[in-house]
Amino acid sequence: MELTAELVALVERMEPDPGPEPGTTEHTNADFAQMAEAVLAQHDPEHLWVFAYGSLIWNPEFQVVEQRRAVAAGWHRSFCLKLTRWRGTRELPALMLALDRGGTCIGIAFRLPPGDKHGQIVRLLQREIDANPPTNVPRWIEVSTKEGRLKVLAFVALRDGIAYAGKRPLPKSRVCSRVQRGTGGRQRSTPSIRSASWKSTASVIATSGEFKD
């Protein structure tokens, strides 16, 4: 049976946002500004490149002036982040894609417009970072492209973070079931898994041409 929007609508429901989990808080604007300063203190590039491997590919929410197919060695996409709000609840946590250590991830490196790198990073943090303290964190990584290697900003799973679901020996069917059941105040996880498998694969692989590291 194919997973369709009509089938998703049969089980879709909206849940009130329960707020941050105990032991966590919301980030303030000052928090995001401070994190952006710390990111630039680690590396202040002439051109700001961002590595996209999931929803950032088809919904980046920032202006792109150049894009390249990129391979991140030492990282792989994994449903390793547990969400108990937005796409999940306390009773039915959802799983979200994140970059976890090991393996290889094919994605797209986006170059952002010049100027206001701090403001651009703040907006990325507001989009990608979860609760405070966060589990999905910014990190500079190196990727390979046909044009050469790039240092890019990526968001990776912090293995000792509160929301890290870990590497679990679950059959793929059980992972998909857990992702599909997740529902919260922002959106269901089911469209995310469909988008992750259809859109990112098609965009990254089918339209990018040959690539050799």
Q: What's the pLDDT score for residue 202?
A: 42
Handedness of CA 154, 164, 101, 160 (dihedral sign): positive
Q: What's the pLDDT score for residue 174?
A: 47
Note whether 97 and 157 are within 8 A (CB): no
Q: What's the pLDDT score for residue 1?
A: 65
3-state secondary structure of 34: helix
Query: Which positions ≥6 away from 173 have C-beta within 8 Å?
Result: none
**Token pair listed for 197:** 């498998």
* Domain assignments of the chain as residue spans, ordered by start: 25-206
Question: C-alpha 177: how far from its chain's center?
Answer: 20
Judge whether 210 counts as a catalytic residue.
no
Low-confidence ranges of the chain (pLDDT < 70): 1, 12-13, 168-213
Q: What's the pLDDT score for residue 168?
A: 57
Answer whether 0.85 is exceeded by the pTM. no
Q: What's the pLDDT score for residue 2?
A: 77
Q: What's the pLDDT score for residue 196?
A: 46
Q: Which of 12, 15, 37, 128 is catalytic?
A: 128
How is domain 25-206 classified at the architecture level of CATH?
Answer: Roll (3.10)
Query: Which positions ≥6 away from 158 have C-beta within 8 Å?
Result: 134, 135, 136, 137, 164
Q: What's the pLDDT score for residue 141?
A: 98
Pairing of strands 94-111, 66-83: antiparallel
Q: What is the pLDDT of residues 62-80, one digit of tens each?
A: 999 999 999 999 999 999 9
